[in-house]
Structure 1
Amino acid sequence: MILTVTLNASVDKSYVVDHLDPYKVMRVKEVNNTAGGKGLNVSRVAALAGEPVTAMGFIGGHNGRLFESLIFVRGIEKRFTHINAETRCCINVRDLATNKSTEFLEPGSLVTEDDLAAFLHDFETQLPLSRIVTISGSMPKGVPADFYGLLVELARRAGKPVLLDSSGEALRAALSAYPTFIKPNADEICQLLGKTVSSRQEVIAAARQLHDGGVDTVAVSLGRDGVLVVSGEGVYRGITPNVPVVNTVGCGDSMVAGFAVGLARGMALPERIRYAVAISTANALTQETGSFRGEDLEALLPQIQVERLSAFA
């Protein structure tokens, strides 16, 4: 079972408009509500891939009840910690004229010390039942900066690999707990290391620094250009084929899910990269966030190129 953690869950509202014109009344053509937060995207994609998932995090209030009702993908067990604060909403507005999106992300309500204690109890209860842990996204107000580090440490003590996808201080504080896998982009690496990286070699050197600091696998997301992966097995590049992109929201989360599924199935690193890039690309072919069609994944897998750039990281 893959255990997914989404502390800052949200009800995600997707609006489609013909043309986004700021400061005017906009008529929405389409509305789609989903159970959101980066970890929920991971949950859906892993479950659609056929892996059992237990989803955890904080939810509360009327939005929390709506949130749980929106989780209907088979294979996801809901083990959320219920709190008094209202679950947040986030809005993504897609402009059909430009095929670009504008996002409005609420910060999340305050989480109390009692809420944190309840979640830790729930988390430690589920750990023995899991094979892999994924931790994704931001943290709501009231959660200490080192909380992800604590979760990583608890999982590692239980012998569970941890895939962490976050940014800023939450990611920085967790590095000392040695997550198994992280997925920063180039900008996030700059923030972590306090240096500018632009060329491929600079990105690899920065990822190598993080790997040498104790992270087993560092996957640097390159968007349309795929992913660079640095691990003890070497440096690899997964290359995304040219496809007609429909929606890029959730592609990074889908990649994390792909790596988690590949790890759960014992895939060798190159095949894990191939699978993760294919499932991320398949997400881009759908309007839904954190989703893919099985036929798209099967068609994409043989198209994904995985290059070994050097024998040792």
Structure 2
Amino acid sequence: MAAGDSGATEERSAFVFAPDPVLTITIEPRPDGGPELHVHAGGQGCWIGRMAMTLGLAVRLCGPFGGETGGILTDLIAGEGIDVRGVPVAGPNGSYIHDRRGGTREVIVEIDPIGLSRHEADDMYGTALGEGMSSSVAVLAGSRSENVVPVEVYTRLVGDLRELGVPVIADLSGATLSAALRGGLTVLKVSHTELVEDGFAASADVGSLGTAMERLHAEGAETVVVSRAGDPALALVGGELWEVPPPPLRPADHRGAGDSMTAGIAVAVASGACMRDALKLGAAAGALNVTRRGLGSGQREVITKLADTVVVRPAAGWSRR
């Protein structure tokens, strides 16, 4: 039986490859006008893992942890109920301090992580392979800096997990996206701005994005999902282009919708749901997340109810070239 089949584990679980866990410190205003500090584990992998856990999966997160920030991050992530499978590294994790007291996000300081050494990268791959092969689904996140993990790690990890029967979902851009495609993805999720910036799409119109999605499919992704901020997401499934309008909720913070959407899709895939239902759950998770200040957060029962309101339909204004 393949590692991703229902008999491989008693509990449905997700493995999250998180090359860049970040210590986040945000200054928010208190009701009395004074400052209030919020300290959390962040980075794309942490946000995806948090939402996947909210939606009912047991989550194992593999990432590099080092220095003072790494020790704090390990405790913070574990404190949320996520199983941390950390790789010790010499350099400290990245971090940032943002000030939101003025209503917008002001960057005080942002510190990037140090790239992994050859031995650290090998340890990261080995740990990731071991955790991923015993999971119902694997999710690969990116990093703020593409120099943290060698891009070929993505190709090897995707290809090896797929050979072992594990569905692999990636939320990537740039060189790591191309590397993961060479391994052969189950689902690729990418934003429309990243497709344009990376040169896959000439513009953000549906025709250009659809053509780019066909190219991504030909290069190794079975299903391609493109998030478009507040506009309906696009999904290329079985040669058909669908659009997925999000529930019409008023946003409090636009950040994190795409990561939550990725988590929702992963949870549905792990449960054996069809791609249409996976897209509905992903859209609902992303929509609820932007109504909140915390990234990758929400209530499971609310997301489930919202998913029932999402209608997946053929994309308007699209015809195959």
Matched, 1:3 2:15: yes
**Helix, strand or coil for the counterpart of 2:185?**
coil
2:98 and 2:230 mapped to 1: Cα distance? 20
Structure 2, unaligned runs of 5 or more? 1-12
* Number of residue pairs the alignment of both structures matches: 302
**Which residue of 2 is the match for residue 86 of structure 1?**
92
Deviations 1:70-121 (A, max 9, x none): 12233x2111111121111023433544xx4345543211311111121122
Matched, 1:244 2:250: yes
**Which residue of 2 is the match for residue 134 of structure 1?**
139
User: Structure 1: which 4+ aligned runs deviate by more than 6 Å?
Assistant: 310-313
- Provide the identity percentage: 24
- Which of 73, 80, 89 aligns to 2:80? It is 73
The one-letter amino acid of 2:14's match is: I
How much has 1:215 moved relative to structure 2?
0.8
The one-letter amino acid of 2:28's match is: V
1:303 and 1:93 mapped to 2: Cα distance? 36
Q: Which stretch shows the higher mean deviation, 33-42 or 293-302?
A: 293-302
How much has 1:218 moved relative to structure 2?
0.8
Q: Which stretch shows the higher mean deviation, 272-281 or 82-91?
A: 82-91
RMSD: 2.4
Q: 1:102 to 1:271 in 2, by over 3 A?
A: farther
Q: 1:244 to 1:33 in 2, by over 3 A?
A: same
2:301 and 2:105 mapped to 1: Cα distance? 26
Matches within 5 A, 1:100-119: 100-103=104-107, 105-119=110-124
Q: Which stretch shows the higher mean deviation, 256-265 or 143-152?
A: 143-152
How much has 1:152 moved relative to structure 2?
1.1
**Which residue of 2 is the match for residue 23 of structure 1?**
none
Deviations 1:230-268 (A, max 9, x none): 121622111013212122222211111001001011111
Q: Give the conservation status (yes or no) of the 8 Å contact 2:142–2:176.
A: no
Structure 1, unaligned runs of 5 or more? 19-26
How much has 1:171 moved relative to structure 2?
1.4
Q: Give the conservation status (yes or no) of the 8 Å contact 2:121–2:150.
A: no
Q: Which stretch shows the higher mean deviation, 175-184 or 277-286?
A: 175-184
**Helix, strand or coil for the counterpart of 2:100?**
strand
1:54 and 1:224 mapped to 2: Cα distance? 30
**Helix, strand or coil for the counterpart of 2:65?**
strand
Q: Give the conservation status (yes or no) of the 8 Å contact 1:111–1:143.
A: yes
1:148 and 1:105 mapped to 2: Cα distance? 25
Q: Give the conservation status (yes or no) of the 8 Å contact 2:281–2:304.
A: no
